[in-house]
């Protein structure tokens, strides 16, 4: 009987040890499963770590740039991809300041030639003391009275000679070569000479109307040409500007 009790006790202890081992194995597996689940949840998946969608793709960059351009009112940023191209275009674009149209160049050149022709004729008539062709000798239009008056001399120089010198310079300054010159000084001299010329013309008109009391048709034609050259030159300077000052 004692042996039977001892045998049952050993069997009972063996069964408890077996159950404890099974329980320990089950708990370890569950704990490992929970740990594995927790680790999986905590660890960042490869998709989250480096996803092509998360990185800024060319489409996203282009969209951002388009929105930036739209925010600036449609003006592309010079610092962007078009910046170097725009800068290169600006550098290659020639400076068109002071470059007047051809019609303006030839119109002023023609007027200067016409003024030179009349001045030559008046100078020749002055030194030869011949009557001017087609000009009246009586009444308000009297060329001889004007060309032989004391006002036909300025500082001892015949006005016809001064007019000739003025239009010789005007022909050079109104030529297409002078208009197309990049030297700022030429355009400034053109303006300055016409300012002086228009001032002299105003004095001559005053002398004819209020001192001499007669008008010379040839002189009047010279005055009109000078007025036209002055107006056209000032208009050209205002509309197209003057060349930039050259830096040495």
**In a 10 Å sphere around its CB, with 0-12 CB exposed, 13-18 middle and 19+ buried, how is residue 65 labelled?**
middle
Q: How many residues does the chain have?
A: 248
User: Is 85 part of any domain?
Assistant: no
Query: Which of 222, 121, 233 has the alpha carbon at shortest distance from 187?
Result: 233
Q: Is 234 a member of any domain?
A: yes
- H-run or E-run covering 158: strand 157-158
Phi, psi values for residue 215, rounded to 5°: -125, 140
Residue 178 lies in a domain: yes
Closest to 221 measured CA to CA, from 131, 119, 136:
119
The verdict on residue 73 lying in a domain is: no
Provide the whole-model pTM. 0.62
CB 190 within 8 A of CB 174: yes
SS3 4: helix
DSSP three-state, residue 157: strand
DSSP collapsed to 3 states, 100-123: CCHHHHHHHHHHHHHHHHHHHHHH
**Residue 56 located in a structural domain:** no
- The CA dihedral of 62, 64, 68, 74, to the nearest 10 degrees, is 40
- In the chain, the number of structural domains is 1
Per-residue pLDDT for the chain (248 aa), expressed as one digit of tens each? 444 556 676 777 777 777 776 566 555 554 444 444 444 433 444 443 444 444 444 444 445 554 544 445 544 444 444 554 444 444 444 455 568 999 999 999 999 999 999 999 999 999 998 889 888 778 889 999 999 999 999 999 999 999 999 999 999 999 999 999 999 999 999 999 999 999 999 999 999 999 999 999 999 999 999 999 999 999 999 999 998 886 65
213 part of a folded domain: yes
Q: Which helix (H) or strand (E) holds 39?
A: helix 2-42
pLDDT score of 11: 72
The pLDDT assigned to 90 comes to 46
Residue ranges making up the domain that contains 113: 102-240
Of the candidates 91, 128, 106, the one whose C-alpha atom is nearest the C-alpha of residue 178 is: 106
Q: Residue 241, class by beta-carbon neighbours within 10 Å (0-12 exposed, 13-18 middle, 19+ buried)?
A: middle
Query: What pLDDT does residue 130 have?
Result: 86
60 domain-assigned: no
Residues 204 and 131: beta-carbon distance below 8 Å: no
* 33 part of a folded domain: no
CATH code: domain of residue 124: 1.20.1440.130
Q: Quick one: pLDDT at residue 39? A: 43
CA atoms within 13 A on the CB side of 143: 18
């Amino acid at each position: 009987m004692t042996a039977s009790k001892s045998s049952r006790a050993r069997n009972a202890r063996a069964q408890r040890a077996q159950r404890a081992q099974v329980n320990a194995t089950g708990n370890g597996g569950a704990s490992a499963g929970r740990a594995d689940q927790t680790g999986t949840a905590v660890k960042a998946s490869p998709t989250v770590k480096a996803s092509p969608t998360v990185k800024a793709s060319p489409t996203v960059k282009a969209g951002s740039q388009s929105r930036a351009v739209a925010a600036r009112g449609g003006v592309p940023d010079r610092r962007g991809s078009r910046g170097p191209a725009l800068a290169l275009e600006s550098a290659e674009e020639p400076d068109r300041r002071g470059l007047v149209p051809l019609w303006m160049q030839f119109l002023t050149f023609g007027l200067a030639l016409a003024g030179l022709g009349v001045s030559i004729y008046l100078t020749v008539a002055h030194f030869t003391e011949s009557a001017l062709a087609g000009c009246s000798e009586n009444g308000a239009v009297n060329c001889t009275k004007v060309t032989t008056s004391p006002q036909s001399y300025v500082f001892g120089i015949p006005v016809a000679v001064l007019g000739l010198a003025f239009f010789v310079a005007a022909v050079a300054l109104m030529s297409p070569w002078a208009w197309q010159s990049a030297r700022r000084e030429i355009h400034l001299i053109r303006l300055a000479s016409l300012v002086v010329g228009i001032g002299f013309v105003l004095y001559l008109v005053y002398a004819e109307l209020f001192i001499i009391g007669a008008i010379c048709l040839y002189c009047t034609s010279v005055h009109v040409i000078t007025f036209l050259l002055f107006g056209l030159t000032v208009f050209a300077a205002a509309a197209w500007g003057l060349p930039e000052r050259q830096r040495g």
